Structure 1
């Protein structure tokens, strides 16, 4: 090895082998999503055989249309305002003039390579899935962390498993509606903010608890995290594999699409650790 150019420590780990768990949902037309956002749509405007070149070859191509808050996605700080203000006191109406949020759009989110922590609340409670409308309490979060032997600290990305993600393939029941959806409330979001987390995510459609029959009428955790503390939210994660593997902490990697001025972006996060 040339001492003038020492080998990068991270590269050495990668070359020795890295285990990965995909935390993102596959994007499919018709997948469950919030009724507040445009749906994902994929089609093939050109298929093989539509145009054949002189040498007998052909090519296919795609077109997608999508909202930025469908599938597994991240909320930028521009996504939510409270009493006319976004994070940092930015005037929400004035910021949207021109159709782009220049100050707090998703393009301002730096790629994340951070310590990730899984809080498997459903596993701690001994259930496959928390009931619809169940509020994950501060006591639940603390007891889950203690049982897993992890602490939540500044700069972490905390992923909360309610088990509701196992219902994703069911479609409409995953969205909640009459049943509600489990998740943290205002108190749980405040607990996360007090620990200085960088981002928080969950296996549900809106991260936080949705009351039975209440839909998205009230979202206090979004206010606490996005508006008051500048903490990003990741929704509709697939946490089943991570929980089954028993990974309490790991390297979390997430890169949003670099869409200027957008309020969110589809993402495909990964949990990584050195091969054992």
Structure 2
């Protein structure tokens, strides 16, 4: 494998938009080297779903897997980026004519979140018939460049459950604005948060060369 790694993560910074009502991200240097005599030491607070992150099934299912129980190999390997820009929602009919090329990870470029510092009024969501299609194609991970696979007001989180019921894990808030559709190697590892419902990730891709 050759090629340059491309960061597709939202940089975490004070002012990045959080999910409405959730814990905002904050970082500060709590102790200065001038005061400690040896090092600067930072302090961070955040929701586990701010910026680029994965959802563990426990996020929406009390009996679901937690972050530290997730199979790591899900988040490393061949991914195909598919451009679905302009669609309000994505389901079976939008994807079934696309060749997945045997990729077990599908990343959808929706273009519906242009500014990570502003929570979008609307964004592209997933329909519930997407889960069965992805399972039929052997897909294990769905990544999107929007804050959720479900609409912000949803309490039932139907798309989350459809994906989980079909063995598909979720990666949200990736940045694909400048990335062309095609095959890539993906690394998007969650932190090993014991009992966690989600985790920020540093997601990177590089062109896949067979």
Q: Same fold (TM over 0.5)?
A: yes
Per-residue CA deviations over 1:139-177 (Å, capped at 9, x if unaligned) read 22234x2xxxx4254x611111110132324x13x2x2x
Aligned to 1:158: 106
Out of 44, 47, 50, the position equivalent to 1:64 is 44
Instruction: Report 1:212-227 matches (<5 A).
Output: 215-226=153-164
Aligned to 2:174: 237
Q: In structure 2, how many angstroms separate the alpha carbons of the residues matched to 1:224 and 1:36?
A: 25
Q: Secondary structure at the match of 2:123?
A: coil
Kindly indicate whether the alpha-carbon contact (under 8 Å) linking 2:134 and 2:168 is maintained by their aligned counterparts in 1: no
Report how many residues are paired.
207
Q: In structure 1, how many angstroms separate the alpha carbons of the residues matched to 2:20 and 2:101?
A: 33
Q: TM-score normalized by structure 2? A: 0.87
Q: In structure 2, how many angstroms separate the alpha carbons of the residues matched to 1:185 and 1:139?
A: 10
Kindly indicate whether the alpha-carbon contact (under 8 Å) linking 1:163 and 1:240 is maintained by their aligned counterparts in 2: yes
Q: In structure 2, how many angstroms separate the alpha carbons of the residues matched to 1:80 and 1:195?
A: 24
The structure with the greater share of residues assigned to helix is: 1
Instruction: Report 1:115-264 matches (<5 A).
Output: 115-122=78-85, 130=86, 134-143=88-97, 145=98, 150-151=99-100, 153=102, 156-169=104-117, 171-172=118-119, 174=120, 176=121, 180-208=122-150, 210=151, 215-226=153-164, 228-242=165-179, 246-264=180-198
Kindly indicate whether the alpha-carbon contact (under 8 Å) linking 2:183 and 2:208 is maintained by their aligned counterparts in 1: no
Query: What is the CA RMSD across the aligned residues, in angstroms?
Result: 2.3
List runs of 5+ in structure 2 lacking aligned partners: none
Aligned to 1:91: none
Out of 201, 204, 209, the position equivalent to 1:267 is 201
Kindly indicate whether the alpha-carbon contact (under 8 Å) linking 2:28 and 2:42 is maintained by their aligned counterparts in 1: yes
The structure with the greater share of residues assigned to strand is: 2
Counterpart check, 1:39 vs 2:24: yes
Counterpart check, 1:78 vs 2:26: no
Aligned to 1:18: 3
